[in-house]
Amino acid sequence: MIEYMSQALVTTFTCSNITALVLGTLIGIVVGILPGLGPMVGMVVLLPFTFALPPAVALSLLLGVFCGGYFGGAVPAILMRTPGVPSSLVTSFDGFPLTQKGEAQTALSAALVGSLGGGIISVFILIFLAPALAHVAASFGPPEYFAAGLLGVVLVVMAYREKLAKGLILLGLGLWISTVGIDGPTLVPRFCFGTLAMQNGLHLVPVCLGLFGIGQTLMLVERKILVNARMSLTRRTLDFSKIAATLKYWKSLILSGVIGTFVGLLPGTGSILASFLSYETVKKVSGRAEAFGKGAPEGCLASEAGNNAVPAGAMIPLLTLGIPGDALSAVLLGVFTINGIYPGPLLLIKEPVLINTLYLSMLLINIVAFVILAIWLRPFAMVVRVSNTLLASIIMSLSLVGIYAVNTRLFDAGVALVMGTLGYILLRLEWPVVNLVMGVVLGEILEERLRESLSMSEGNPLIFLERPISLFLFVATFLIIVIPVLWDSRKARIRARNKGRDFS
């Protein structure tokens, strides 16, 4: 273990890894600060560049964007009540009132300390929890993997259960897209519509870059994001005396970090829930509930600690089971598989140096993001003044050239444009695009495991109910579908009864 850790230390502190880590964090902070972009756009735009990099460096670059995005999102939420990332909305509840009182530095200090603390706590939980979960997952066979994958997919679909039909359509579309091209076991071309280019399949990079990069850029072109000229910061750096003052909320910090990590661990829940849950819990526990919403630094701290704990939390099922919890970790899974690394219980045994490098890089990213924002707070905050149409032009051209560069195929750029159009339509109609990405990423894994399981049982689907872990996972999946439906129908009945009473 110590040997692996020392090797990981060396890998982490190589020049290329540190450069990737700092660059990723810088880009993450910028896309996090810019409302309308977010870490997903940053990650997918950088995705084509990761092919030329070793896996550890590629992951550091993307994780930098992932974590840096959450750090950056708090800045406009506090200064302008405009969250850079959706989960920073909760930070604005107390951050913006503090800014109005002239205490922006207090709010920013609390938010950044919260982000740093939440990030570090979650990485430590990841380090201790991942081997334990991997130990359980080591006894998994194809039926268990299929059941676990199905559970992950169902959790994501049920997270948008008010859009259940739309979610099912998009999940189905994603799963179908994953089957296009030559089928591995039978070497039969599938759904190629007579074209040679389709036989290579629809790669994850153009699909994700199209859906999120180009789709989001088209939204940016259409929906003008105005520059708020009133935003100003008197100091260039963070006020370090305020940082020390926020440390008295250490109990809230730990609580929020733990909540955020466990919310991130569950597929489909996302960082918004982590922020809300951390904020509400700290509000109840603190004994100062009346101060929350009016400018309590503790609120900013709790919300940011909660959402910044999500990336490491989401890494737990990704590394141990190979199941991504959201679209961002789905992209990371893509990077793993493109490099021939398949996350699962054996990953911790097979690639101990890579995994330890990943842990150390995540710790470093949190520190780097904190230091960057603490030193250059004002220059970064002023990023919101950059014209969104200029940004759209840069992102669009970079995306298209980047996609071409991956396989030097113009066909991929065409796929990205088609997916971009679809992404724009889905984003404008507010359909759950995450279901589509989950389908594309998990499709291959689910299909492989399903066919392996059915081969084991000679076509008998009851194999999934004959093995205890698989049965347990299927029962959990069934309950996750049934309980919310029963709960909703009960609520509807009560509402109808109350309505009847009102009329009588």
Partner 1 sequence: MPWPCQGIDFMAQKTNPKSRVHDLLGAVLGLFAAIVMATSPWQVDTSGPYPFYKGALIFPLMALGLMVMGSVPSFIRLLRPGATDSWHLDGGGLPRRPAVVLSMAVAFIIGIPMIGLEISCILFTASMLYYLGHRSPKIYVFWPLLLSGVFYLVFKYFLDVYFPTPLLLEYLGG
By the 8 A CB rule, do 247 and 441 touch?
A: no
Q: List, as one string, the DSSP characters of 12-71.
A: HTSHHHHHHHHHHHHHHHHHHHSTT--HHHHHHHHGGGGGGS-HHHHHHHHHHHHHHHHH
Among 20, 80, 107, 265, which residue interacts with partner 1 (rule: CB under 8 A)? 80
User: Is residue 264 near partner 1 by the rule CB under 8 A?
Assistant: no
What is the identity of the amino acid at 244?
A
Q: Least distance from C-beta 407 to partner 1, angstroms? A: 10
User: Is residue 429 near partner 1 by the rule CB under 8 A?
Assistant: yes
Q: Least distance from C-beta 185 to partner 1, angstroms? A: 7
Among 9, 136, 168, 247, which residue interacts with partner 1 (rule: CB under 8 A)? 168
User: Is residue 451 near partner 1 by the rule CB under 8 A?
Assistant: yes
By the 8 A CB rule, do 436 and 170 touch?
A: yes
User: Is residue 421 near partner 1 by the rule CB under 8 A?
Assistant: yes
Rounded Cα gap, residues 402 and 385, in angstroms: 26
Which CB sits closer to partner 1, 207 or 360?
207
Region from 76-84, 119-127, 235-243, 326-334 binding partner 1, contact rule CB under 8 A: 76-84
Which residues from 187-226 bind partner 1, rule CB under 8 A? 188-193, 214, 217-219, 221-226
Among 10, 52, 132, 367, which residue interacts with partner 1 (rule: CB under 8 A)? 52
Would you give the binding string for partner 1 spanning residues 6-45, x where CB under 8 A is met?
-----------------------------xx---------
By the 8 A CB rule, do 25 and 370 touch?
A: no
**What are residue 195's phi and psi, to 5 degrees?**
-105, 145
Region from 184-192, 246-254, 335-343, 480-488 binding partner 1, contact rule CB under 8 A: 184-192
Q: How many CA atoms are closer than 13 Å to the CA of 381, on its beta-carbon side? A: 29
**405: which 2 tokens?**
């560069």
User: Is residue 409 near partner 1 by the rule CB under 8 A?
Assistant: no
Maximum CA extent, the chain = 76
User: Is residue 114 near partner 1 by the rule CB under 8 A?
Assistant: no
DSSP H/E element including 317: helix 310-321
User: Is residue 50 near partner 1 by the rule CB under 8 A?
Assistant: no
Rounded Cα gap, residues 48 and 26, in angstroms: 18
Say whether 190 sits in a helix, a strand or coil: strand
Q: What region, left, alpha or beta, does residue 384 occupy, with left being phi > 0 and alpha being psi -120 to 50 degrees?
A: alpha
Q: Least distance from C-beta 250 to partner 1, angstroms? A: 29
* Cβ burial, residue 482 (10 Å; 0-12/13-18/19+): exposed
Among 133, 371, 382, 405, which residue interacts with partner 1 (rule: CB under 8 A)? 405
User: Is residue 428 near partner 1 by the rule CB under 8 A?
Assistant: yes
Q: Least distance from C-beta 366 to partner 1, angstroms? A: 27
User: Is residue 459 near partner 1 by the rule CB under 8 A?
Assistant: yes
User: Is residue 175 near partner 1 by the rule CB under 8 A?
Assistant: yes
Which CB sits closer to partner 1, 237 or 455?
455
**476: which 2 tokens?**
């959990």
C-alpha distances (whole Å) from 472 to each of 153, 155, 269, 450 are: 16, 15, 21, 17
Region from 21-29, 57-65, 98-106, 172-180 binding partner 1, contact rule CB under 8 A: 172-180
By the 8 A CB rule, do 90 and 279 touch?
A: yes
Which residues from 278-307 bind partner 1, rule CB under 8 A? none
Which CB sits closer to partner 1, 112 or 198?
198
User: Is residue 490 near partner 1 by the rule CB under 8 A?
Assistant: no
User: Is residue 101 near partner 1 by the rule CB under 8 A?
Assistant: no
User: Is residue 404 near partner 1 by the rule CB under 8 A?
Assistant: yes
Among 167, 260, 311, 325, which residue interacts with partner 1 (rule: CB under 8 A)? 167
C-alpha distances (whole Å) from 150 to each of 30, 442, 457 are: 35, 9, 19
What is the identity of the amino acid at 222?
E
